[in-house]
Amino acid sequence: MNEKWDGKQILLQMMETPGVSGYESAISKLVESQLRLFTDKIKRDKVGNLIACVEGEGDSPRPRILIAAHMDEIGLIVTKIEQGGFVRFTQLGGFDPRTLIGQEVVVHGRTDCHGIVGSKPPHLTKPEEREKTIPLKELYIDLAMPEASVQERVQVGDIITIHRKAMQLQNGFLAGKALDNRASVAAMLECLQEMKRLRIQADVYAVATVQEEVGLRGAVTAAFGIDPDIGIALDVTHGLTPGTANDLAFKPDAGCVIAGGPNIHREIFEKFSELAKRHNIKHQIRFNQGPTGTDANAIQITRDGIPTGLLSVPLRYMHTSVETICYRDVERTGKLLAYFIEAVDQSFVEGLSCYLKN
């Protein structure tokens, strides 16, 4: 193994790199630089998915395994420049407007412009307004520039990202923006690193997908184009905090979350659970009643159906600028996935042909 490779430092760098849904160019270049440590067989499809193939041992045809981890982040987009140079915006992905007031942002116009998200101060609001959440349409960005300067540098359609330095907290925890889902991209890299010391009999397609936050679009085209025998999505899930239900949120640093339920092939779920126990990897179990809201949704129903699994990293404060994870869960996710890939051979794939087996 390459002792110089440091997955945590790469993740910190990915967190600070812009890559809003549909505008993933910068983060894609960074991820590609890391994937090239494992393979030279890398391409982009027509929607921008970054696809790296790591070939297995043995004669062809080998089983084909798709790993999908979306690299896009939620962001904002300019909708109007108002009198005085104030910038109105809407969202690309699911921001909670309550978290935006007072945030530092970067408007990626002709040149990058730093600003803050402002609103009418509470002193100037009516008493009944103070009891309500300020709607997104009443927020604006103040770039502290004359209107003419704003008009020169910014136009409708420019992308906006939160400006937030990644933080290393105590006990292996990280916090910042875009951990949904750069944490899982890091887990995918950890998997590829772990695979170096294992005997792999499948061809692995490690895909950093695009536009997950606006409709799982990258996973649709990647799964269709690769046509894998097995698809595994990597994502984040809600981390346990005060007031959250134990069956909907999971404890950080208690291991990766193995998903089950209708969106997940039963035997893939069982294999992940078995391997986690055999290799003493901390893990948690989640059963979803329906679609998981991840790339697994799209993979499962592509073409004539793809046996699908899902591993998730517990994350607190999802879709805010202070998303928080424990990096040990990223490492555990990558290690468990590598052991799963090691266990896949042609006979395992042939046993996945039907969901309805007893």
Q: Which value, to the nearest 10 degrees, does the dihedral of the CA atoms of residues 139, 215, 155, 122 take?
A: 0
- Would residue 331 show up in a list of annotated catalytic residues for this protein? no
How sure is the predictor about 225, in pLDDT bands with cuts at 50, 70 and 90? very high
Residue 147 has pLDDT above 90, yes or no: yes
Residue 108 has pLDDT above 50, yes or no: yes
Average confidence (pLDDT) over 324-340 = 98
Question: What is the model's pTM?
Answer: 0.93
For residue 130, the model assigns a pLDDT of 66
How sure is the predictor about 282, in pLDDT bands with cuts at 50, 70 and 90? very high
Amino acid at 16: E
Measured CA to CA, the distance from residue 289 to residue 292 in angstroms comes to 8
Average confidence (pLDDT) over 257-273 = 96
Q: Go through 323-343 and write b for each residue having 16 or more CB atoms within 10 A of its CB, e for each that does not.
A: bbbbbbbbbbbbbbbbbbbbb
159-216: pLDDT as tens digits: 999 999 999 999 999 999 999 999 999 999 999 999 999 999 999 999 999 999 999 9
> Is 70 labelled as part of a ligand binding site?
yes
Instruction: Identify the burial level of 219 via C-beta atoms within 10 angstroms of its C-beta, where 0-12 means exposed, 13-18 middle and 19 or more buried.
Output: buried
Residue 2 has pLDDT above 50, yes or no: no
Beta strands in the chain (DSSP E): 42-44, 50-54, 64-70, 75-81, 87-92, 104-108, 112-118, 140-142, 159-162, 167-168, 173-176, 203-209, 230-238, 256-260, 283-287, 308-315, 323-326
For residue 133, the model assigns a pLDDT of 76
Which of 212, 323, 331, 342 is catalytic? The answer is: 212
Residue 256 has pLDDT above 70, yes or no: yes
Provide CB contacts within 8 A for 116, sequence distance 6+: 102, 103, 104, 105, 141, 142
Tokens coding 30? 């960074």
> Is 235 labelled as part of a ligand binding site?
yes
Residue 355 has pLDDT above 60, yes or no: no
For residue 94, the model assigns a pLDDT of 85
50-105: pLDDT as tens digits: 999 999 998 888 999 999 999 999 999 999 999 999 999 999 988 888 889 999 99
Contact by Cβ (8 Å): 183, 239: no
For the chain, the C-alpha Rg in angstroms (whole number) is 21
Q: What residue ranges define each of the domains in the chain, with the CATH number in brackets?
A: 7-73+177-350 (3.40.630.10), 75-162 (2.40.30.40)
> Is 180 labelled as part of a ligand binding site?
yes
Measured CA to CA, the distance from residue 54 to residue 45 in angstroms comes to 17
Measured CA to CA, the distance from residue 358 to residue 356 in angstroms comes to 6
Give the closest residue to 252 by CA, choosing from 347, 207, 295, 316: 316
Average confidence (pLDDT) over 36-47 = 97
For residue 331, the model assigns a pLDDT of 98
Amino acid at 311: L
Measured CA to CA, the distance from residue 319 to residue 316 in angstroms comes to 9
For residue 290, the model assigns a pLDDT of 87
Instruction: Identify the burial level of 317 via C-beta atoms within 10 angstroms of its C-beta, where 0-12 means exposed, 13-18 middle and 19 or more buried.
Output: middle
Provide CB contacts within 8 A for 293, sequence distance 6+: none
Residue 39 has pLDDT above 90, yes or no: yes
- Beta sheet of 42-44, edge-to-edge order: 42-44, 50-54, 203-209, 64-70, 230-238, 308-315, 256-260, 283-287
For residue 95, the model assigns a pLDDT of 85
Average confidence (pLDDT) over 323-330 = 98
How sure is the predictor about 1, in pLDDT bands with cuts at 50, 70 and 90? very low
Question: Which of the two residues, 354 and 273, has the higher pLDDT score?
Answer: 273
How sure is the predictor about 234, in pLDDT bands with cuts at 50, 70 and 90? very high
Tokens coding 248? 């909907």
Residue 120 has pLDDT above 90, yes or no: no
Residue 354 has pLDDT above 80, yes or no: no
Share the mean pLDDT of the chain: 93
